Structure 1
Amino acid sequence: MSQQFKEGIDYYYDERRLVVLTSTYHLKRGRCCGKGCTHCPYLYENVAEPHKSQLLKERPPILKYGNENTP
C-alpha cells in the first residue's frame, strides 16, 4: 500500500499508546494478514486454529454496512 496512513481513518492509538489498525485500513489492504488484528474485517481467515476460534468467540458483533439503525 503506497498511500499515507491517516490517523483516525487508518489507525488510532489505544490507551497504551499502541497503534491499532482500523477495518478501513484492512479493507484497503485487501486481505487478512493472519496476525489476529482487533478490527479484521475478514473474520481472521488466515489465523491458525485454535487462535482463530478464540478470536471469533471474543469478537464484538460486526456492524453491518448501510443503515445502522436497522435491527
Structure 2
Amino acid sequence: MVTSSNGERKPLAGRPLRQPHDSRMPDDPAYQQEIIQAHDDALAGGGAGYLDPRTGLFVLSARFLAARGTCCGRGCRHCPYVK
C-alpha cells in the first residue's frame, strides 16, 4: 500500500511495477517490448518516466505514479492501481 498526500491509503494492483496492465498496451508485440524496455530503463535509472520509443511523448513510470498514492483516472500506461 502507498499513502497519498492526504494520508489516504490506496492499494496497488497485484502485479510487479515493471508489468503494465494489458489494457494499457498497444496490440503490436514489438512495440510492447520497446515500451517495456524503455520503462525498465526508467525504473533502473530512478527516472520519473521515459520518452515513448515511437511517439516521443513523455510517459510516467509506475514507480512515479505509485508514489503519488492514488490513481488520477487519466489512463496512464503504467498505472499501478489498475487491476
Q: TM-score if structure 1 supplies the norm length?
A: 0.48
